[in-house]
Structure 1
Amino acid sequence: MLYICPTPIGNLEDITIRTLNTLRFVDEIYCEDTRHTIKLLNHYEIKKPLFSLHEHNENMKSDEVIEKIKSGKNIAYVSDAGMPGISDPGSKLIQLCIENGLQVTTLPGASAMVVALVNSGLNTRSFTFVGFLERENSKKKSQLQKLFQKEETLIIYESPHRIKQTVKQLHEVFLNRKIVIAREISKKFEEYIRTDLQTLDYMLNYEKKELIGELILIIEGNKDINQEQVLSDDEIISILKEKTDSGLSTKDAVKFVSKEYNINKNKVYNISTLLSK
Structure 2
Amino acid sequence: MAEGRLIVCPTPIGNLEDVTLRVLSALRSADIVACEDTRRTRQLLDRYGVRAELVSYHEHNERERASELVARMQRGAVVALVSDAGMPLISDPGYLLVRACVAAGLPVEVLPGPSAATTALVASGFSSAEWHFAGFLPRKSGDLQRLLEQHRETVVAFESPKRLAATLATIAESDPERPVAVCRELTKLHEEVVRGTAAELAERYRDQVPKGEIALVIGPASGTSKTTVDERSVRAVKRLVAAGAKPRTAASVVAELTGASANDLYRAATSANGA
Which TM-score tier does this pair reach, normalised by the shorter chain?
A: 0.7 to 0.9
Identity among equivalent positions (%) equals 38
Contact map agreement 1:33 1:80 (CA 8 A) in 2: yes
Query: 2:75 aligned to 61, 71, 74, which one?
Result: 71
Contact map agreement 1:10 1:81 (CA 8 A) in 2: yes
Aligned to 1:129: 133
Per the alignment, in what secondary structure is the counterpart of residue 186 of structure 1? coil
RMSD: 2.7
Aligned to 2:61: 57
Contact map agreement 2:149 2:262 (CA 8 A) in 1: no
Matched, 1:82 2:83: no
Separation in structure 2 between the aligned mates of residue 155 and residue 120 of structure 1, nearest angstrom: 10
Any stretches of 5+ residues in structure 2 without a counterpart?
234-244, 267-275
- TM-superposed deviation, 1:67: 0.3
Aligned amino acid, residue 127 of structure 2: N
TM-score, reference length from structure 2 = 0.81
Residues 199, 182 of structure 1: alpha-carbon distance in 2 compared, 3 angstrom cutoff: same
- TM-superposed deviation, 1:143: 3.7
Aligned to 1:262: 264
- TM-superposed deviation, 1:147: 2.3
Separation in structure 1 between the aligned mates of residue 108 and residue 137 of structure 2, nearest angstrom: 29
Per the alignment, in what secondary structure is the counterpart of residue 128 of structure 2? coil
Aligned to 1:220: 219
- TM-superposed deviation, 1:149: 4.2
Aligned to 1:242: none
Aligned amino acid, residue 44 of structure 1: Y
- TM-superposed deviation, 1:112: 0.8
Per the alignment, in what secondary structure is the counterpart of residue 113 of structure 2? coil
- TM-superposed deviation, 1:263: 6.0
TM-score, reference length from structure 1 = 0.81
The count of aligned residue pairs is: 245
Separation in structure 2 between the aligned mates of residue 254 and residue 85 of structure 1, nearest angstrom: 28
Aligned to 1:163: 164
Matches of residues 1-277 of structure 1 in structure 2 within 5 Å? 1-135=5-139, 137=140, 140-205=141-206, 208-224=207-223, 229-230=226-227, 256-257=254-255, 260=262, 262=264
- TM-superposed deviation, 1:51: 0.4
Contact map agreement 2:178 2:197 (CA 8 A) in 1: yes
Residues 13, 262 of structure 1: alpha-carbon distance in 2 compared, 3 angstrom cutoff: same
- TM-superposed deviation, 1:101: 0.9
Give per-residue Cα distances to partners, 1:114-157, cap 9 Å, x unaligned. Answer: 0110111100111000010123x2xx422422422423211011
Any stretches of 5+ residues in structure 1 without a counterpart?
237-247, 265-277
Separation in structure 2 between the aligned mates of residue 164 and residue 255 of structure 1, nearest angstrom: 29
Per the alignment, in what secondary structure is the counterpart of residue 129 of structure 1? strand
Contact map agreement 1:5 1:107 (CA 8 A) in 2: yes
